[in-house]
Structure 1
């Protein structure tokens, strides 16, 4: 017997992406709930046009928001998506098969990211598997301020699904840099919360250099052309920014770097 599937999505000012995401859910979802953080654009209106339930909830953090969204689902079997993600036909077929024969506590999806018009398949960006299809009774979203992840309880198993989840990440380099600035601030705050204040020349110089070398050369990011170069360069800059920002937060108990 086929299980009933809820799709949960968190949003804030996603009018340019949410419609595409919702269209791909036809004949897959038995319930669609969008948890919106009081968007000021047409996000809510577009969701309602696609017959999605909208629940308004103040944003308190990615982990908290996604755990709250999971509780709003009508069914225990949940597919969690971001507004800028779209199911491919192959992934839709895989989900249909899973609905007819659910075998695991969760399933991982391979994300294929579009960066400024280029599908990125190297540099560590693909397949970028995420556990997004799950039985909510078998795990929960975890993490601090950033890099939230769904974790299954001990002795629970996850299976890889065939098909790609298309991720429309950045339309421009400016958008990438703006988000990087925001995320590096959050990452620095997260390290500070953990009491990891140590910042040396190793963190400020060698770790960014290694980030570039690893992504661009060792993970073949150069095969993605200009997109691969931008990703490697901006990612390396992000490592520097994270530790530079952390350096300004640490208790000033010692002199020097």
Structure 2
């Protein structure tokens, strides 16, 4: 009898999936692989571990995750959200196995602590991030955003399990930069939505405390000057938060993720504003025509 249903969204994840599924075996979780038509060994690996495999056309993370909640035959009380390039750490496995069964019915969700790994090295000089990754089935879903999606809980309390999961992508730098170039468009949409409400989203409903604080910090970031904010963020992380102590891998992480990527996002925000001004309908049309994303 499975205790937890784990939803994993995939596209060509043969390099990561086995590691992820092995960690799930240690918490007696049933894996539901929702795939966006991979052409590698993703399906073969998933089925070799007894995972439920289903495919659906990709729109964005939130849409795909919520589709999984509605279409997978989930029959457990708890759902775990995990990406293919993530895995549960030993203390996370221990916390789930020992503490989760003891939670009272009024607890609807639990957070786990994120551990960042880049090029094989743990990036330690980052703020401690707790994320809702476990929730009772029927009480939560992903908020409808293009980036920075959090799990929203309909009712009940949220507790910290104090276990850890790792984000540890094994692909090379070329893959990483290409991926983040595609992310930058979605991030630009998210920032424009926070500034102009082009999608009409609410940005703080039913979020846990840390997610709400993170969203408030992001709103302050939105109101800061373009390009200066990305440079300032890099200096804050690399100098004031002692990121330079994480070695060459740490420099690459903070430079690429903290400055290069966010400057690229600002370039796309600048581009869209230059051609559209503050006209939200023009923004939608421009994004659709130039980036192939319909909003």
Instruction: Give TM class, smaller chain.
Output: 0.7 to 0.9
**1:68 & 1:50 partners in 2: Cα distance?**
23
Q: State the partner residue of 1:6.
A: 5
**1:182 & 1:217 partners in 2: Cα distance?**
28
Q: State the partner residue of 1:114.
A: 117
Q: Which runs of 4+ in 1 moved over 6 A?
A: none
- Displacement of 1:102 in angstroms is 2.4
| Mapping for residues 30-109 of structure 1, pairs under 5 Å | 30-71=29-70, 72=72, 73-103=74-104, 104-109=107-112
**1:175 & 1:40 partners in 2: Cα distance?**
17
The change in CA–CA distance for 1:77 and 1:248 in structure 2 (over 3 A counts) is: same
Q: State the partner residue of 1:241.
A: 264
Unaligned runs of 5+ in 2: 199-221, 278-295
3-state DSSP class of the match of 2:25? coil
3-state DSSP class of the match of 1:189? helix
3-state DSSP class of the match of 1:160? strand
3-state DSSP class of the match of 1:123? coil
Q: TM-score, normalised by structure 1?
A: 0.87
- Aligned pair 1:232/2:232, yes or no? no
Name the structure where strand makes up a greater proportion of residues.
1
**1:246 & 1:253 partners in 2: Cα distance?**
10
- Displacement of 1:110 in angstroms is 0.9
3-state DSSP class of the match of 2:82? strand
- Displacement of 1:180 in angstroms is 2.0
Query: Which of 237, 240, 248 is the equivalent residue of 1:218?
Result: 240
The change in CA–CA distance for 1:30 and 1:190 in structure 2 (over 3 A counts) is: closer
Q: Greater CA deviation, 159-168 or 75-84?
A: 159-168
**1:237 & 1:81 partners in 2: Cα distance?**
26
Unaligned runs of 5+ in 1: none
Q: TM-score, normalised by structure 2?
A: 0.76
Q: Which has the higher contact order (CA 8 A, sep 6+)?
A: 1
The change in CA–CA distance for 1:98 and 1:113 in structure 2 (over 3 A counts) is: same
8 Å Cα contact 2:16/2:170 also seen in 1: no
3-state DSSP class of the match of 1:40? coil
3-state DSSP class of the match of 1:28? coil
Q: Deviations over 1:134-159 (max 9, x none)?
A: 113222210421111102225x3211
3-state DSSP class of the match of 1:105? strand
- Displacement of 1:3 in angstroms is 8.4
3-state DSSP class of the match of 1:131? strand
- Displacement of 1:69 in angstroms is 1.9
Please tell me the root mean square deviation across aligned C-alpha atoms, in Å.
2.4
The change in CA–CA distance for 1:185 and 1:94 in structure 2 (over 3 A counts) is: same
Q: Greater CA deviation, 217-226 or 33-42?
A: 217-226
